[in-house]
Amino acid sequence: MLEELKNEVYQANMSLPKLGLVTFTWGNVSGIDREKGLFVIKPSGVAYEDLKPDDMVVVDLDGNVVEGDLNPSSDTPTHAYLYRHFKNIGGITHTHSPWGVSFAAAQMDIPAVSTTHADTFYGDIPCTPALSQEEIQSAYELNTGKVIVSEFEQRQIDPDATPAVLVSQHGPFTWGVNASKSVYNAKVLEVSAEISYHALQSTRSDIHVPQYLLDKHYYRKHGVNAYYGQKKSSFC
């Protein structure tokens, strides 16, 4: 079942090592079929060089395995929670990419300091508060989803416009209209973190881009007035 989606999710997972975003098995991508209410995700702890499209696991929105011989990613409850609450997203990527994790370890947002960031993310990439002891000890991966959604709600951040988060002391989750786009956003997060780190070390001051530059670059690539690239799309 869902052969096309499995292949798409497989390809998206395989692009993680090509983009330098994973060490060993530390990353996973999923993609959802919204009509069927099922998503496809990488199996847990399988090396990328051994991965095959048929290894992808089909899971329902409560995180129950519907098809597949292997255990799904241990982060499956986080993916499921995000799909349930961020209604427009079609794919999710989690990595331990080192620049992103460095900001998560520092418990800092990745500030929007250049157009490289603003082309993809409409503002700072938020770092969640740390999970409490209780949240970590019971239903940890579910609570990881909850702290993400709660942070976006509290800060009134639109998850479609800023499709990325850092889980405190853990690392990046990104999403997008499909699996492939969520990987794209994972790479932009990593490059943006690298740039922000060096710019912050150089200046040790607030170097946010102004709102109007954020608007210009974000809407150059997104929305009905986008004019970057070859086709207009509501979310490039």
Which residues sit at the interface with its own copies, rule CB under 8 A? 23-26, 43-46, 70-71, 74, 96, 98-99, 101-108, 113-116, 119, 130-131, 133, 136-137, 140, 169-171, 184, 187-188, 191, 194-203, 207, 209-210, 212-213, 216, 220, 227-230, 236
**For its own copies, the closer CB: 44 or 150:** 44
**For its own copies, the closer CB: 87 or 210:** 210
The span from the CA of 135 to the CA of 133, in Å, is 6
> Which residue of the set 60, 62, 215, 228 is catalytic?
228
**For its own copies, the closer CB: 35 or 50:** 50
Q: Look up 140 and say whether it is catalytic.
A: no
**For its own copies, the closer CB: 174 or 196:** 196
- Minimum distance from CB of 29 to its own copies (Å)? 17
> Which residue of the set 119, 122, 184, 218 is catalytic?
119
The span from the CA of 136 to the CA of 147, in Å, is 11
- Minimum distance from CB of 150 to its own copies (Å)? 18
The span from the CA of 141 to the CA of 124, in Å, is 24
Q: Look up 60 and say whether it is catalytic.
A: no
Catalytic residues: 119, 228
